[in-house]
Protein backbone atom coordinates (compact mmCIF):
# COMPACT_ATOMS: atom_id res chain seq x y z
CA UNK A 1 0.00 0.00 0.00
CA UNK A 2 1.35 3.48 -0.93
CA UNK A 3 4.53 1.98 -2.39
CA UNK A 4 5.39 0.25 0.91
CA UNK A 5 5.34 3.51 2.91
CA UNK A 6 2.22 2.47 4.80
CA UNK A 7 1.57 -1.23 5.28
CA UNK A 8 -1.42 -2.69 7.08
CA UNK A 9 -0.62 -5.88 8.94
CA UNK A 10 -2.62 -7.66 11.65
CA UNK A 11 -0.59 -8.29 14.82
CA UNK A 12 -1.77 -9.14 18.33
CA UNK A 13 0.59 -7.52 20.83
CA UNK A 14 0.50 -8.78 24.44
CA UNK A 15 2.97 -6.05 25.46
CA UNK A 16 2.79 -2.29 25.56
CA UNK A 17 4.00 0.28 23.02
CA UNK A 18 6.50 -1.36 20.65
CA UNK A 19 6.08 -4.69 22.48
CA UNK A 20 7.47 -3.47 25.81
CA UNK A 21 6.87 -6.23 28.39
CA UNK A 22 6.01 -8.90 25.84
CA UNK A 23 8.38 -11.35 27.62
CA UNK A 24 6.90 -10.72 31.09
CA UNK A 25 4.81 -13.49 32.66
CA UNK A 26 1.11 -13.35 31.73
CA UNK A 27 0.07 -12.47 35.30
CA UNK A 28 2.42 -9.47 35.41
CA UNK A 29 1.15 -8.25 32.02
CA UNK A 30 -2.44 -8.61 33.23
CA UNK A 31 -1.68 -6.66 36.40
CA UNK A 32 0.24 -3.89 34.64
CA UNK A 33 -1.45 -3.49 31.27
CA UNK A 34 -5.06 -4.27 32.17
CA UNK A 35 -5.73 -3.81 35.89
CA UNK A 36 -3.32 -0.94 36.68
CA UNK A 37 -4.09 0.80 33.39
CA UNK A 38 -7.82 0.50 34.04
CA UNK A 39 -7.45 2.03 37.50
CA UNK A 40 -5.24 4.85 36.21
CA UNK A 41 -7.74 5.59 33.45
CA UNK A 42 -10.59 5.85 35.97
CA UNK A 43 -8.55 8.37 37.98
CA UNK A 44 -7.48 10.26 34.84
CA UNK A 45 -11.07 10.42 33.53
CA UNK A 46 -12.31 11.68 36.88
CA UNK A 47 -9.67 14.40 37.04
CA UNK A 48 -10.23 15.35 33.40
CA UNK A 49 -14.00 15.61 33.78
CA UNK A 50 -14.13 17.35 37.16
CA UNK A 51 -11.06 19.56 37.15
CA UNK A 52 -11.22 22.77 35.18
CA UNK A 53 -7.57 23.58 35.68
CA UNK A 54 -5.00 23.88 32.95
CA UNK A 55 -5.09 25.29 29.48
CA UNK A 56 -7.15 23.99 26.59
CA UNK A 57 -3.97 22.42 25.18
CA UNK A 58 -3.42 20.52 28.45
CA UNK A 59 -7.03 19.35 28.48
CA UNK A 60 -6.86 18.20 24.85
CA UNK A 61 -3.54 16.44 25.45
CA UNK A 62 -4.93 14.67 28.50
CA UNK A 63 -8.09 13.69 26.63
CA UNK A 64 -6.02 12.20 23.80
CA UNK A 65 -4.00 10.14 26.29
CA UNK A 66 -7.14 8.93 28.08
CA UNK A 67 -8.91 8.15 24.79
CA UNK A 68 -5.99 6.12 23.49
CA UNK A 69 -5.66 4.35 26.82
CA UNK A 70 -9.35 3.43 26.81
CA UNK A 71 -9.04 2.15 23.23
CA UNK A 72 -6.10 -0.07 24.12
CA UNK A 73 -7.83 -1.25 27.31
CA UNK A 74 -10.93 -2.28 25.35
CA UNK A 75 -8.66 -4.11 22.90
CA UNK A 76 -7.02 -6.02 25.78
CA UNK A 77 -10.39 -7.00 27.25
CA UNK A 78 -11.74 -8.18 23.89
CA UNK A 79 -8.57 -9.89 22.62
CA UNK A 80 -7.54 -11.84 25.75
CA UNK A 81 -4.87 -9.43 27.00
CA UNK A 82 -3.57 -8.29 23.60
CA UNK A 83 -3.96 -5.11 21.61
CA UNK A 84 -4.35 -5.30 17.85
CA UNK A 85 -1.59 -3.39 16.10
CA UNK A 86 -1.91 -2.96 12.36
CA UNK A 87 0.06 0.03 11.04
CA UNK A 88 3.66 -0.18 9.83
CA UNK A 89 5.39 2.87 8.36
CA UNK A 90 8.53 2.95 6.26
CA UNK A 91 9.89 6.28 5.07
CA UNK A 92 13.23 5.85 3.37
CA UNK A 93 15.52 4.02 5.78
CA UNK A 94 13.28 4.82 8.78
CA UNK A 95 10.97 1.96 9.80
CA UNK A 96 8.52 1.86 12.70
CA UNK A 97 7.29 -1.04 14.71
CA UNK A 98 3.69 -2.07 14.18
CA UNK A 99 1.28 0.19 16.10
CA UNK A 100 -2.40 1.20 16.23
CA UNK A 101 -4.42 4.42 16.26
CA UNK A 102 -4.67 4.41 20.05
CA UNK A 103 -0.86 4.57 20.16
CA UNK A 104 -1.01 7.59 17.83
CA UNK A 105 -3.47 9.45 20.07
CA UNK A 106 -1.47 8.65 23.22
CA UNK A 107 1.74 9.85 21.55
CA UNK A 108 0.00 12.98 20.25
CA UNK A 109 -1.33 13.76 23.73
CA UNK A 110 2.09 13.31 25.31
CA UNK A 111 3.67 15.55 22.65
CA UNK A 112 1.05 18.25 23.26
CA UNK A 113 1.70 18.17 27.02
CA UNK A 114 5.47 18.27 26.53
CA UNK A 115 5.17 21.14 24.04
CA UNK A 116 2.89 23.05 26.41
CA UNK A 117 5.33 22.50 29.26
CA UNK A 118 8.40 23.53 27.26
CA UNK A 119 6.98 26.32 25.11
CA UNK A 120 3.79 27.40 26.83
CA UNK A 121 3.08 30.96 27.79
CA UNK A 122 5.34 32.17 30.59
CA UNK A 123 3.61 32.54 33.90
CA UNK A 124 3.52 36.00 35.39
CA UNK A 125 6.07 36.40 38.12
CA UNK A 126 4.96 37.61 41.53
CA UNK A 127 5.56 41.29 42.26
CA UNK A 128 8.92 42.17 43.76
CA UNK A 129 8.46 42.83 47.50
CA UNK A 130 11.48 45.14 47.62
CA UNK A 131 10.55 48.85 47.85
CA UNK A 132 13.32 49.58 45.32
CA UNK A 133 11.94 47.20 42.67
CA UNK A 134 15.06 45.10 42.32
CA UNK A 135 17.98 43.77 44.25
CA UNK A 136 18.29 45.15 47.78
CA UNK A 137 20.46 48.25 47.95
CA UNK A 138 23.19 48.76 50.46
CA UNK A 139 22.81 51.70 52.82
CA UNK A 140 26.15 51.37 54.50
CA UNK A 141 29.70 52.19 53.57
CA UNK A 142 31.23 49.56 51.37
CA UNK A 143 34.83 48.93 51.60
- Catalytic site residue 75? no
- Collapsing DSSP states into helix, strand and coil, what is residue 14? coil
DSSP state letters, 88-133: EEEETTEE---B-HHHHHHHHHHHHHHHHHHHSPPPPPPPP-STTS
- Catalytic site residue 103? yes
Catalytic residue among 61, 103, 106, 113: 103
Catalytic residue among 13, 14, 64, 85: 85
What are the two backbone dihedrals, phi and then psi, of residue 51, each rounded to the nearest 5 degrees? -100, 130
Distance CA 49, CA 51 (A): 6
Distance CA 45, CA 63 (A): 8
- Collapsing DSSP states into helix, strand and coil, what is residue 70? helix
**Positions marked active-site:** 85, 103
Amino acid sequence: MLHHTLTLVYTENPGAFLSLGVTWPAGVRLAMFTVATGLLLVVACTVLLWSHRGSHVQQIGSALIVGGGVGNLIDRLVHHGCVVDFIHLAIGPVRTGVFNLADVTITGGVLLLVARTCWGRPTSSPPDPSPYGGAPRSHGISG
